[in-house]
Structure 1
């Protein structure tokens, strides 16, 4: 029996968003299309809204827009997100991301 499995961009975005939420120091995701300020932080129900999936040479790329907890080491949180997301996407979806960029767009007290 042969066939192929297709992972949609929406499914990939959800997987990435849920994984990012598991990282200590991440308060939530922020919509990538906000022009002025941070008007809302998205909870788990809307995690994929903070993830933008693209393509580079046929491989997926991802941009994550996160809100970090006040007082955390933001570069360390971004590094933890990058490592965890790359691992989860590889093991659960079989995808190697061409690029993963974490954008800390806000800081919020928890």
Structure 2
């Protein structure tokens, strides 16, 4: 069910996929985030097989009545403060969705699915 925004000039309908993609791109800009964890294994595996990039991977959007909920499943870098990374992701996603789409998100839930050690040479 798309999120509808009423304006004096008409109605704007924004799909859940657009919200998920925007949230995924915003989250990936945050320091300490290694990647997104897949919640839809079959769909993401098929996209990878076909060579399609999926910025909405690891993001679930629920719209109920007039409320928007975003769930992010993330993988963080070892050695970073997990709480701080999660807070930064939450604030960045909330800000970007509000500024770029005009949607006020009611809740941004962060689920840390893993920690990855990155090797730098």
TM-score by length of 2: 0.77
Measure the CA separation in 1 of the matches of 2:63 and 2:20: 13
Structure 2 segments unaligned to the other structure (5+ residues): 1-7, 42-47
The answer to whether 1:17 aligns with 2:24 is: yes
Q: Which residue of 2 aligns with 1:100?
A: 108
Structure 1 segments unaligned to the other structure (5+ residues): 35-41
In our comparison, the structure showing a higher alpha carbon Rg is 2
Partner of residue 37 from structure 2, selected from 23, 27, 30? 30
- Give the CA RMSD over aligned residues: 1.7
Partner secondary structure for residue 47 of structure 1: coil
Task: Count matched residues.
Answer: 101
Q: Higher strand proportion, which one?
A: 2
Measure the CA separation in 1 of the matches of 2:65 and 2:106: 8
Shift of 1:33: 4.6
Shift of 1:59: 1.4
Partner secondary structure for residue 19 of structure 1: helix
TM-score by length of 1: 0.84
